[in-house]
Chains A and B, each alone.
Chain A
Amino acid sequence: MNEHDLRGLIADVKEGGQSRRSFVQKMVALGLSAPIATQMLAWNGVAMAQPVDDYKPTKAGGGGPLKILLWQAPTLLNPHFASGTKDQEASRVFYEPLAGWDAEGNLIPCLAAEVPSKENGGLSADGKSVTWKLKQGVKWHDGKPFTADDVVFNWEYAADPATAAYTTGSYKDIKVEKVDDHSVKVIFAEATPFWADAFVGVAGMIIPKHHFGEFKGAKSREAPANLKPVGTGPYKFVDFKPGDIVTGERNPDYHVKNQPHFDTIEVKGGGDAVSAARAVLQTGEFDYAWNMLVEDEILKRMETGGRGRVLAVPSGNIEFIILNTTDPWTEVDGERSSVKTKHPTLSDPAVRQAINLLIDRDSIQKFIYGRGGTATASFVNEPKMFKSKKLKYEFSVEKANKILDDAGWKKGADGIREKDGKKLKYVFQTSINAPRQKTQAIIKQACQRAGIDLELKSVTASVFFSSDVANPDTYTKLYCDMEMYTTTQPQPDPERFLNQFTSWEIANKENKWLGRNVSRYASKEADDAYKAAQKELDPAKRAALLIKVDEAFCEANVILPLLSRTRVAAAANNLVPKYSGWDSDVWRLASWYRS
């Protein structure tokens, strides 16, 4: 389907010739998927649907205790300093954003009265501002009313560099104005196609001005409410022991009728993923456990206990390999893998293409990741609209051999291919993590059959993912020929995620290896498409541009995507959680219930 057809369809929906739903279904059938299909409609002036919540209980409370187990314990409860998901989940029990993302990537209002759209006047035609209407009658846990001042304050708080909030990326480049007590206007410096960032999802939780007002900037650490949250959420704070447990009780004044269902909530932390799965699936001590980084086989065995089940939803995480096109073994101006150098063998596109053909993605999915991932050749996979249709993967040792033969790489006496005295011998590095080591072994075996020798190296995760400038083994240093890890696409819109394919983000000594482009590869095509996408308001064109960025890197075989990871959780059989791969696990905690 081309752009023209799409426009026809959208116009159809607008005029009422076709229902929203059938449009979305059509898009899904085409592989475009709901999240952006709905965004497409939103931008073209069709209001977002208010999704029906299949919430059964007819009164609030009476559900008894809800027990959630996170195997990494929450350490603080200020959403603006929530570094990992553990803190984001725990904060979300008490705090809420203006809107959250559901599993399909739809924007669902929470503290907002409605999702801004062109139709309701929320989105300006030039894409430079968004007006949020706030829900009326919402009260903080201490009885004070929730107003536009609180929202504006959150922007001031997070945008202040002295606060050093982790959410600052979403706030520092915008301006927020109070329109009246229950509406705020977010103003962007430039036309911004993806406007649903500030005040939305994990970075959007709103903290009360009357508790944090004095603790903006350098004093942020001293706020007592950092550990004793006062929010608007479905549960009120009772107790918090950092690194151990968070408890809460039902908020009787919650702003949604008949919610929440449970009387108390407990979020316990600590331990490891396997035993967390066991506590839900086998012994039933807990109702819900998140982030089940456990081999699928083990989970399947535990599920036979019949007490709980495993849930998996698509997320934006991607497990992939980088082939280094710069020389990691020569030091230039105090750094290795400098863009001024060229890799002696991997700079040959034929070699990279051959290596891509030597990755048996189907086996990796089938035997290692199970429900934890889906084999893919595209870097962006979710929402489906942004997945490239062109990229395909294949596993063929014969083809790889042929390509290498044709390119003049001849097998030497030791069975390793070489040309002009340069051998195809590589160091393949990743973090220590059982599935990754197994994946490394599978790839090494196949490469051996094509005359490529891989030396496997694994680095402790705490070193690999650190930003220690002095350590040569961090992933951004890329002091190796090949490297594998997972990266997270935090929002349904991949624009910010794809900045790791731009030339100005290349990690180097100058930016202390903090640049997001770890591969060091640069492509003018990708740069141009990325810049154009940043300004493009038309969702269809914009998606096409972002796909081009993805393809530029994947087709050059610099980035070899392996698996699109899913988010896996374990839940008791009688628990009905609302689950999403684009937001916190507890993003809709208020409507969880026990059947």
Chain B
Amino acid sequence: MASYLIRRLLIAIPSLLGISLILFTVLALAPGDPFEELATNPNVPPEVRMALRAKFGIDDPVMVRYVRWLTAMVQGDWGFSFASRINVDDLILQRVPTTLFVVGSSQLLALAIALPVGIYAATRPYSVFDQIANTLAFVGFSLPTFFTGLLFILLFSIKLDWLPFVYRSDIAATGWRWYWEMMRQALMPILVLGLFQAASYTRYVRSAVLDVVRLDYVTTARAKGLSETKVTIRHVARNALIPVVTLVALQMPAVFGGAIVTEQIFRVPGIGSLLITAILANDTPVVMAVTFVFACLVVFFNLIADLLYGWLDPRISFR
């Protein structure tokens, strides 16, 4: 186990280096200039732009910039944003709570829907409930979030006027009122993300349970005279959920990474919207840091998922 862990961690280092190199090169080759707004402004002399480019080291060759970035990164210096000139780690840390709250709650919501629906549908395959659940699941993951997001805004904000569609991180209220306001503004983004995720989870849970429900030990459990509820929960669900746990673990990086489109629609100040504005502004240090952190999380949670898998299912051994 320990040697497996060490080996996996050692393998992670070259893969992360490779990822960072590719990311950096792609960003360096991509067109655009962080100071392009200055170019069209007649009040800003071109020398200012050239001075800034030189100061921020944009004119150096890609490899020089990469090595500089890497050595700084290893020492914990993530660089600073060209646009706001503050350290990238501060910028990211500011966004993490909102992203964790919105995307995390949507994942919880997705599981809260997908688990009961998926299990129930699988224990009664091709029943009316299963058919309806299936249809809704297909509809759910066929509709992209930008579409459902706009649909929700149209319905709940414009037609019914119930919910605000601009998410504000500074709510000027305290106590219960704060929670109420927070819930109102977070409801739509969480629903949009949660329902989309729930749709695919439901399909996954259903097929995982279907695989298990036909196995001999389930028949044995029934033959022992256990109640159907007990069979489903203790014998079927426990084993069926092992792959689902892995799936959820693999989804965790996305929880930190935010949801780019949904965050943009509802103006949720999360990591996703930070990334998209940074890309649009050609703010390379921010783009680099966010994507790299994301890559690290993917590698890390892959490892977690593998470890979790072995822990839940003792038949799997680490070698």
The answer on a CB contact under 8 Å between A271 and B264 is: yes
Q: Mark B142-167, 1 if CB is under 8 A from A, else 0.
A: 00000000000100011001001110
| Separation of A496 and B277 alpha carbons in the complex (Å) | 31
Tell me whether chain A's interface is mostly helix, strand or loop, or mixed: loop
Tell me, yes or no, whether B181 is within 8 Å of chain A by CB: no
B35 at the A/B interface (Cβ < 8 Å)?
A: yes
A165 engages B94 (CB within 8 Å): no
| B85 close to A226 (CB less than 8 A) | yes
When distances are taken between beta carbons in the complex, the residues of chain A under 8 Å from B48 are: 164-166, 168-169
Complex alpha-carbon distance, A172 and B47, angstroms: 12
Q: What distance in Å separates the Cβ of A196 from its nearest Cβ neighbour in chain B?
A: 13
Q: Are A75 and B81 in contact (CB under 8 A)?
A: yes
- A76-B83, A242-B84, A471-B31 are known contacts. Are A514 and B264 too (CB-CB below 8 A)? no
Contact yes or no, B40 A488, CB < 8 A: yes
Over the window 24-35 of chain B, the binary record of Cβ atoms lying under 8 Å from chain A Cβ atoms (1 yes, 0 no) is 000000011101
Q: Is B81 a contact of A242 with CB atoms below 8 Å?
A: yes
Say how far A158's CB is from chain B's closest CB, in angstroms: 10
CB distance from B177 to the nearest CB of A (A): 14
Does A161 belong to the interface (CB within 8 Å)? yes
Question: Which chain A residues border B37 with CB–CB below 8 Å?
Answer: 83-84, 465
B residues 1-60 in Cβ contact with A at 8 Å: 31-33, 35-52, 55
- Would A243 and B91 be within 8 Å (CB), given that A75-B81, A226-B85, A462-B31 are in contact? yes
B67-80: CB near A (< 8 Å → 1, else 0) gives 00000000000001
Q: Which residue of A lies closest to B274 (CB)?
A: A243
Contact B31 A168 (CB under 8 A): no
Q: Are B84 and A75 in contact (CB under 8 A)?
A: yes
CB-contact partner of A169 in B45, B85, B91, under 8 A: B45
Say whether B265 faces chain A, with CB atoms less than 8 Å apart. Answer: yes
Q: When the two chains form their complex, are residues B269 and A270 in contact, meaning their CB atoms are under 8 A apart? A: yes
**B-facing mask of A268-298, CB < 8 A → 1, else 0?**
1111100100110011011000000000000
Please tell me if A430 contacts chain B, counting CB pairs below 8 Å.
no
Asked whether, in the complex, the Cβ of A285 is within 8 Å of the Cβ of B166, the reply is: yes
User: CB-CB < 8 A to A511: which residues of B?
Assistant: 46
- The answer on a CB contact under 8 Å between A466 and B277 is no
Give Cα distance in the complex from A47 to B170, angstroms.
Answer: 46
| Bound-state Cα–Cα, A81 to B55, Å | 14
The interface bits of chain B over 275-300 (1 if a CB of A lies within 8 angstroms of the residue's CB, else 0) are: 00100111000000000000000000
Binary per-residue interface labels of chain B (212-254) against chain A in the complex, 1 for a CB within 8 Å, 0 otherwise: 0000000000000000000000000000000000000000000
A488 to B38, CA, bound (A): 12
Residue of A nearest to B46 (CB): A514
Q: Does A65 contact B (CB under 8 A)?
A: yes
Does A244 count as interface, using CB distance less than 8 angstroms? yes
Residues of chain B within 8 A of A242, CB atoms compared: 81, 83-84, 86, 91, 94
Q: Which residues of A contact B83 (CB under 8 A)?
A: 75-76, 83, 242-243
Contact among B33, B265, B274, B280 for A466, CB-based, below 8 A: B33
* A39 CB-CB contact with B under 8 Å: no
A466 near B36 with CB under 8 A, answer: yes
Q: Known contacts A169-B45, A172-B45, A514-B49: does B33 contact A468 (CB below 8 Å)?
A: yes
Would you call A245 an interface residue if the criterion is a C-beta within 8 Å of the partner chain's C-beta atoms? yes
Among residues 226 to 283 in chain A, which have CB atoms less than 8 Å away from a CB atom of chain B? Answer: 226-227, 239, 241-245, 247, 264, 266, 268-272, 275, 278-279, 282-283
A574 on the B face (CB < 8 A): no
A487 interface hit (Cβ, 8 Å): yes
- Complex alpha-carbon distance, A332 and B11, angstroms: 52
Query: Are the CB atoms of B85 and A76 closer together than 8 Å?
Result: yes
By the criterion CB–CB under 8 Å, are A270 and B31 in contact?
Answer: no
In the bound assembly, the distance between CA atoms of A468 and B168 in angstroms comes to 36
Question: Contact residues of A with B, CB < 8 Å?
Answer: 65, 69, 73, 75-76, 81, 83-84, 161, 164-170, 172, 203, 218, 221, 226-227, 239, 241-245, 247, 264, 266, 268-272, 275, 278-279, 282-283, 285-286, 460, 462-463, 465-468, 471, 473, 476, 487-490, 496-497, 499-500, 511-512, 514, 516
Q: Which 5 interchain pairs have the tightest Cβ spacing?
A: A514-B46, A244-B269, A242-B84, A75-B84, A466-B33
14 new A-B contacts at CB < 8 Å, known A76-B85, A466-B32 = A166-B38, A168-B45, A241-B94, A241-B269, A243-B269, A243-B274, A268-B168, A272-B264, A285-B166, A466-B31, A471-B31, A473-B31, A488-B42, A490-B41
- 6 A-B pairs with CB atoms under 8 Å apart are A221-B80, A241-B170, A242-B81, A244-B94, A245-B269, A465-B37
